[in-house]
Structure 1
Amino acid sequence: MLNLSVLLEDSARRYPHRDALVLGDVRITYAELDARSNQVANLLISRGIEPGDTVAMSFPNVLEFPIVYYGILKAGAVVVPLNIMLKGREIAYHLADSGAKAYFCAEGTDELPIGEFGRAGFDATPGCRDLFVATTGAGAAPVGDGVTALDAALAGRPGVIASAVRGPDDTAVVLYTSGTTGKPKGAELSHANMVMNAVTANRLFDSNPIRRDTHLVTLPLFHSFGQTVVMNAGLSVGATLVLLPRFEADAALRLMVQESVTVFAGVPTMYWALLGALDAANRAGTADIVDVERIAGTIRRAISGGAALPVEILTRFADRFGVQILEGYGLSETSPLALFSDPERDSRPGSIGVPVWGIEARLVDDEWNTVTGPDRVGELALRGHNVMTGYLGRPEATAEVMRNGWFRTGDLARRDEDGFYYIVDRAKDLIVRGGFNVYPREIEEVLLTHEAVSLAAVIGVPDESHGEEIKAFVILEPGAHITEAELIAWCREQMAGYKYPRSIEFTTVLPMTATGKILKRELAGRV
């Protein structure tokens, strides 16, 4: 018997009065967080949600994320966290594909109307029975068939419940991901996957309840990195999570000082922005406003993932803050922690580290044969307690990447003579923009729905601030006329903000193989 919600429940029993969450001036204790999650569980059960049902949610880093997340688990249901930048039709796809019976979302803001897109997705998904919207301020409660304001729905619900009994191999969370072909797939992560990965993170970072760590939570919690390494791992040891809904370097630096932050996890672009903010303050003569010495005196762990960390940033951060950034590697399919810098050994810039506790790694060829020898390149394969049980409803896709417990990552890597791994290239065309995975074919398929577009190919191009940026090459229909700005604006309306191309090059021909496959490497060579 095992339920991922035990990570919260154990800390609530042991440290009921300790701050669990901080958002602005609001502080929530462990007892309060546990009770509010119990109310969510009671709400779901009253609406007919049964163990094993899927429930989706769309929240930024606000109080409702962990409250609803653990409430869904306590009811025995499966959590499906969605990217908050998805638009209506994308949400509808995820709700339908996951079979979600209920959906929670934030109302959002004028800049990011999560509630508006959420309602559009919900209305287009007949199988999803209930939508609960977390409103802000004194705005009018949402209305409509099956749509309820979350506060109203929770009012009067009991704050106690006996969490549903689940097995270690039962699915706890479905995280959507995809390769470069087809639509997003849901990686099924079991209660054992998620619990073990959180425990492994704490083991790796030497985190325990006695330390009373304070995490600055800037990584999106709907993403596997923030969800496991920060939220689940942190709450399991009674840490305090300081939530920052939208990353801004100046705000992050202020919170590091105000809350005496001890652990910071981010993607490389966040570290780049923090250093840039300090440089800007120096140029403006306001560097004294940021107490760098105090930050350096409290922060004990800096963690990076999601994309390769430039050596220059690693070195500069260590010089300014006195702490070495530890870099690692993982995927949604691996819960995500898989390889990481060894805190007991000298760091190796450019390396993703060594397998974490309980995980095996090897390099394989196309036929699953092991590639041996220092610095020989092969596809990275992983096996251990972190590997997903499979892709939801896609046995063929699962069989393509899994064999005898081993999971093919799709990334090409090499291993040095001391066992440290280095990513060499992506086996496919996946683009990583600011830590988010972007899948070219999905964008290409959207472009092809425009009446002026005949053919499209999407690639990633180097970008200083985001790591990679999205560029599209487009062949127009004969006689069609549209400008680059017009087509980009249309794309922006059709897909999440991190997905749409920032540049479009019109061409009359695309390089292809004899079989008609577009040669994207040749396109990349044009940039």
Structure 2
Amino acid sequence: MLNLSVLLEDSARRYPSRDALVLGDTRISYAELDSRSNQVANLLIEHGIEPGDTVAMSFPNVPEFPIVYYGILKAGAVVVPLNIMLKGREIAYHLEDSGAKAYICFEGGPDLPIGEFGRAGFESATQCRVMFVAGHEPGTGTGTGDVSGLEAALAETSDAFSTVVRAPQDIAVILYTSGTTGKPKGAQLSHSNMVMNAVTSNRLFDSNPIRHDTYLVTLPLFHSFGQTVTMNAGLSVGGTLVLLPRFEARAALRLMTDEGITVFAGVPTMYWGLLSALDESVDVDRIAATMRRAISGGAALPVEILTQFSERFGVQILEGYGLSETSPLALFSDPEREPRPGSIGVPVWGIEARLVDTEWNTVTDLDTVGEIAVRGHNVMSGYLGRPEATAEVMRDGWLRTGDLARRDSDGFYYIVDRAKDLIVRGGFNVYPREIEEVLITHAAVSLAAVIGVPHQTHGEEVKAFVILEPGKQVEEAELIAWCRDQMAVYKYPRSIEFTTVLPMTATGKILKRELATKAGRR
């Protein structure tokens, strides 16, 4: 028997007075976190939630996220963490698709009215029976009688609870994909999937209770990366999680200094932001003195950013790879071997990986591009209610990821690009990441994103969006000419658009589909 909440409960027994969560001046101990999660579990049971029922939640990186998350698990229910950027119609879809019986969300504020959108979604969901809002004020409900303030409801609830035991293969969490190619699908992850991935993370990062790491948690906890690699993994070894609800580079650098951060996990754009925010006011030496692990995932990390970060902070960024369907950790830099810039590493403990072609045949030739497929304890049970979609990506325990890569003679994998981002120009395959890697080595270029746009004779043409370094200038024709000198004639961008921002997801991934729409691609 197994319940993912054991990760919190074990640390609460061993280190009850140790800080589990920090947000500003608020510090919550392990004992308090566990007790408040017990209250949430009792509240759900009182409202008819049974083992196996799904409960959705919408929270930024605030203490209520882990409190509610583990409370749902303790009750034996399935957690459905929702992206806090969703609007009412989208929330209703997720509540209906997941079959959520209850919904707990954050009130938010004028800049992000999570509660307002949540209530609109709840009103449109036919199966969801009850909703609780953290920060909810009396008299601001929908008039349905089914929306209650979370704090008031918990005030009269016991903080003693006996966790509902579950089988290892029972579903613990449903993580929804971004839905870039259709409606979002719910990846079903078991208690075993999630526990094993947290344990594997700690094995990789050499994390243990005696070391007492302090994590800066700015990756959205509703996303698999932050949820597993920082929250579940960190709490399982008695770590202290310093929460930063919205990534802002200067605020992150201040917390790294003030809280003595030892572990930071982020996506490439966050590392780019940290480097861009450095000035004489930042005590880089102090940050470097405590930082022992810097972890990157979620998207391919440009080698130039990796190199610059190592030079400034004296910390080698370890790059990993995974997706929601793999809990998420699947491949990672081998801790026993020197990191290889540009590589996502090797399969993590207990996981197999191979490259396949469109017919699932194994690609055996070294340095030949194929699609990554993985098998092991991290692979989801399938997409909720979508057997056809599951069959498309899963076969004999193997999951094909949609990411293109090559493998060297030592077994290290190198992401080439997303299969759907591949540009075919005049019959030649062009991988956007390769072009982006070259572009950011130019002295005037800070960040770049490359897409394919329709072309009458070539099928697709290469287009780049570029953010310039502060105070630097370069003309489009000049930069195109420079690119032409750096790469094969069919690869270099024929048009470059300068911009000050690139559209990104809540997790910091560049939204290339929005760039494609902007460029007129359909």
Question: TM-score higher than 0.5 here?
Answer: yes
* 1:144, distance to aligned residue in structure 2 (A): 2.8
Partner of 1:397 in structure 2?
389
SS of corresponding position for 2:420: coil
Aligned residues: 448
User: Please, which runs of 5 or more residues in structure 2 have no aligned partner?
Assistant: 423-431, 434-450, 452-459, 469-502
Map of 1:419-438 to 2, 5 A cutoff?
Answer: 419-429=411-421
Partner of 2:274 in structure 1?
274
Map of 1:112-123 to 2, 5 A cutoff?
Answer: 112-123=112-123
User: Please, which runs of 5 or more residues in structure 1 have no aligned partner?
Assistant: 282-286, 433-439, 441-456, 466-490, 511-517, 519-527
Cα gap change, 1:205 to 1:399, in 2 (>3 Å): same
* 1:501, distance to aligned residue in structure 2 (A): 3.6
Map of 1:236-247 to 2, 5 A cutoff?
Answer: 236-247=236-247
Partner of 2:213 in structure 1?
213
The one-letter amino acid paired with 1:26 is: T
Which of 321, 327, 335 is the matching residue for 1:343? 335
* 1:292, distance to aligned residue in structure 2 (A): 1.2
The one-letter amino acid paired with 2:151 is: D
Partner of 1:364 in structure 2?
356
Contact 1:296 1:321 in 2 (8 A): yes
Map of 1:243-262 to 2, 5 A cutoff?
Answer: 243-262=243-262
SS of corresponding position for 1:20: strand
- Map Cα deviations across residues 6-50 of structure 1 (whole Å, 9 max, x no partner): 000000000000000000000000000000000000000000000
Contact 1:180 1:429 in 2 (8 A): no
Cα gap change, 1:389 to 1:275, in 2 (>3 Å): same
* 1:290, distance to aligned residue in structure 2 (A): 2.1
* 1:335, distance to aligned residue in structure 2 (A): 0.2
Partner of 2:366 in structure 1?
374
Partner of 1:451 in structure 2?
none
Cα gap change, 1:140 to 1:313, in 2 (>3 Å): farther
SS of corresponding position for 2:300: coil
* 1:178, distance to aligned residue in structure 2 (A): 5.3
Map of 1:1-80 to 2, 5 A cutoff?
Answer: 1-80=1-80
Map of 1:64-143 to 2, 5 A cutoff?
Answer: 64-135=64-135, 142=141
Q: State the TM-score, normalizing by the size of structure 2.
A: 0.82
Partner of 2:156 in structure 1?
156
The one-letter amino acid paired with 1:5 is: S
The CA distance in 2 between the partners of 1:236 and 1:107, in whole Å, is 29
Cα gap change, 1:77 to 1:463, in 2 (>3 Å): farther
The one-letter amino acid paired with 2:53 is: D
The CA distance in 1 between the partners of 2:101 and 2:370, in whole Å, is 42
Contact 2:15 2:238 in 1 (8 A): yes
The CA distance in 2 between the partners of 1:420 and 1:21, in whole Å, is 36
Cα gap change, 1:76 to 1:505, in 2 (>3 Å): closer
In the alignment, structure 1 residue 352 sits paired with structure 2 residue 351? no
Contact 2:138 2:149 in 1 (8 A): no
The CA distance in 2 between the partners of 1:26 and 1:117, in whole Å, is 27
The CA distance in 1 between the partners of 2:395 and 2:380, in whole Å, is 12
The CA distance in 2 between the partners of 1:17 and 1:498, in whole Å, is 40
The CA distance in 2 between the partners of 1:54 and 1:296, in whole Å, is 43
Contact 1:56 1:104 in 2 (8 A): yes
* 1:505, distance to aligned residue in structure 2 (A): 5.3
- Map Cα deviations across residues 307-334 of structure 1 (whole Å, 9 max, x no partner): 1111111111111111100001000000
Cα gap change, 1:505 to 1:408, in 2 (>3 Å): closer
SS of corresponding position for 1:86: coil
* 1:233, distance to aligned residue in structure 2 (A): 0.1
The CA distance in 1 between the partners of 2:518 and 2:235, in whole Å, is 47
SS of corresponding position for 1:345: coil
Q: State the TM-score, normalizing by the size of structure 1.
A: 0.81
Contact 2:346 2:413 in 1 (8 A): yes
Cα gap change, 1:506 to 1:290, in 2 (>3 Å): closer
The CA distance in 1 between the partners of 2:330 and 2:515, in whole Å, is 32
SS of corresponding position for 2:183: coil
Partner of 2:321 in structure 1?
329
Partner of 1:477 in structure 2?
none
The one-letter amino acid paired with 2:186 is: G
The CA distance in 2 between the partners of 1:504 and 1:193, in whole Å, is 36
The one-letter amino acid paired with 2:406 is: R
The CA distance in 2 between the partners of 1:5 and 1:464, in whole Å, is 43
The CA distance in 2 between the partners of 1:297 and 1:143, in whole Å, is 51
* 1:350, distance to aligned residue in structure 2 (A): 1.2
Contact 1:249 1:270 in 2 (8 A): yes
The CA distance in 2 between the partners of 1:321 and 1:180, in whole Å, is 35
Contact 2:299 2:509 in 1 (8 A): no
* 1:142, distance to aligned residue in structure 2 (A): 3.6
SS of corresponding position for 1:44: helix
The one-letter amino acid paired with 1:212 is: H
The one-letter amino acid paired with 1:157 is: T
